[in-house]
Chains A and B, each alone.
Chain A
Amino acid sequence: RYDALAASLTIFVLAIFIGFELITKVPPTLHTPLMSGSNAISGISIVGALIAASAGDAPLAAIVGLVAVILATVNVVGGYLVTHRMLEMFKPKR
């Protein structure tokens, strides 16, 4: 069991380092879209929400999970769409 935890912690630490290295120079016009786009990624908790909502072993857990599914989907769908709209504005007009 604790082998699995050690593996998860390793992944966690490595991903943190990638995250730190990923963003270096960002022009100010991209600050808000980047914030919005990475906010959409944090909607990844939708994966946990789907699993929780499908819990056959506990009805209450499924209901709470369903609330999480709705909240996370709003975050994901709305987040990506609004980011796309923002970025479209910056496109050079031809």
Chain B
Amino acid sequence: MYEALINLAYVVSAILFIFGLKYMSHPRTAVKGNLISAGAMLLAIVLTLAALKMIATYVIIGLVVGGIIGAVLAIRVQMTDVPQLVALFNGFGGAATVFVAGAELLRPNTSTAPDVMLAAALSGLIGAVTFWGSLVAYGKLQELQIFKKPIDIPSGAVVNIVMVAILLLLTIFMAGSGWSLIPYILIVVIASILGVTLVVPIGGADMPVVIALLNSYSGLAAAATGFVIDNNVLIISGSLVGASGLILTQIMCKAMNRSLVNVIFGGMQSAAAAS
């Protein structure tokens, strides 16, 4: 009964996320939209804590530590450095899904049903790509020394396709066998490499579009995590971000007079041309 009420209250949170996003896309209501969305998040967190049987002290400490780190980074950043900070935050969100799905797999009572395993594998896969891709985007925008020269990955496209194929096989294996831990770690490791090799060849000017796309990915990763822990608010808000992020990516591409395919593969061609 109590749990059902909590789940019902999550709907309020989901509706507020929808209105928040809607308001965010108009200049006059954007500030309000962000505040509504923040309120929705606060409500979701409070409801989650209320549903727990007991709240351990270290969980609160974790919230405080994360909150202070996030606040300090956001308040102290120079406005010109905001895009790379957004990339960094996005990466953290992706990493969080990797750890949440990982933690679920470590629990003794987690179901090994194919759908749960599939969702866990996808959380790890998309989350790891998001994390490492975002870190590379951060590094490029921050103009870190290693990214100053264009990095050429020999036959990068082939390497990426091979990695995607291995990832798909591991995901299918994990869903089919229910044997999770080692396949999951392999998926996370290979997806981490893929995140780097996907973003490294793309030029710095295209980074905003890449971050927008990775933002869409982190939403999908959150939605996949929602399937792992069977939580509707994660599924709804994750897929909202996944879908609206994809549209935003497209709009940003158009504004730059580029196509998405051009951004993703254009970098590879220019890297090949330079070599």
Interface residues of A (CB under 8 A from B): 1, 4-5, 8, 11-12, 15-20, 22-58, 60-62, 64-91
Give the number of chain B interface residues (Cβ < 8 Å): 100
Task: Please determine whether A51 and B229 come into contact, CB atoms closer than 8 angstroms.
Answer: yes
Contact pick for B89, options A23, A49, A56, A82, CB 8 Å: A82
Contact for A73 among B20, B49, B70, B231, CB less than 8 A: B70
Enumerate chain B interface residues (CB-CB to A < 8 A).
14, 17-18, 20-22, 24-27, 30-31, 33-35, 37-38, 41, 44-45, 48-49, 52-56, 58-59, 62-63, 65-67, 69-71, 73-75, 77, 79, 82-83, 85-86, 89-90, 92-93, 95-97, 99-100, 102-104, 106-109, 113, 115, 208, 211-212, 215, 218-219, 221-223, 225-248, 251-252, 255
Contacts of A30 in B (CB 8 A): 24-27, 30
Which of B26, B37, B79, B211 lies in contact with A35, CB distance below 8 A?
B211
User: How long is the Cα–Cα vector from A90 to B82 in the complex, in angstroms?
Assistant: 15
Which residues of chain A are within 8 angstroms of B59 by Cβ–Cβ distance?
50, 53-54, 66, 69
Chain A residues near B25 (CB, 8 Å)?
Answer: 22-26, 30, 34
Quick one: which of A37, A39, A67, A89 has the most chain B CB within 10 A?
Answer: A39
Q: Name the residue on A nearest B31 (C-beta).
A: A87
Q: Which residue of A31, A44, A78, A85 contacts B251 across the interface (Cβ within 8 Å)? A: A31
B interface, over-half SS: helix
User: Please, which residue of chain A has its CB at the minimum distance from the CB of B220?
Assistant: A42
- Residue from B75, B107, B235 in contact with A58 in the complex, judged by beta carbons closer than 8 Å: B107
Further pairs besides A50-B49, A56-B54, A64-B99: 14, Cβ < 8 Å: A15-B240, A18-B243, A29-B27, A35-B252, A39-B93, A47-B45, A47-B233, A51-B48, A52-B99, A64-B103, A69-B62, A75-B92, A85-B79, A90-B27
Docked Cα-Cα span, A58 to B227, in Å, equals 20
Does the CB pair B219–A42 fall under 8 Å? Answer: yes
In the bound complex, do residue A38 and residue B241 qualify as a contact, i.e. CB atoms below 8 Å apart? yes
Residues of B within 8 A of A36 (CB): 82, 86, 89
Contact B238 A54 (CB under 8 A): no
**Is there contact, CB below 8 Å, between B54 and A54?**
yes
**Cβ B97 vs Cβ A35 within 8 A:** no
Cβ B103 vs Cβ A68 within 8 A: yes
Interchain CA distance A67-B251 in the complex, whole Å? 34
28 A-B pairs with C-beta separation under 8 A: A4-B230, A8-B232, A19-B240, A22-B25, A28-B255, A30-B26, A30-B27, A30-B30, A34-B30, A36-B89, A37-B34, A41-B20, A41-B21, A42-B215, A48-B97, A48-B100, A48-B234, A51-B229, A54-B53, A58-B106, A61-B106, A62-B56, A68-B100, A70-B66, A74-B66, A77-B67, A80-B38, A84-B31
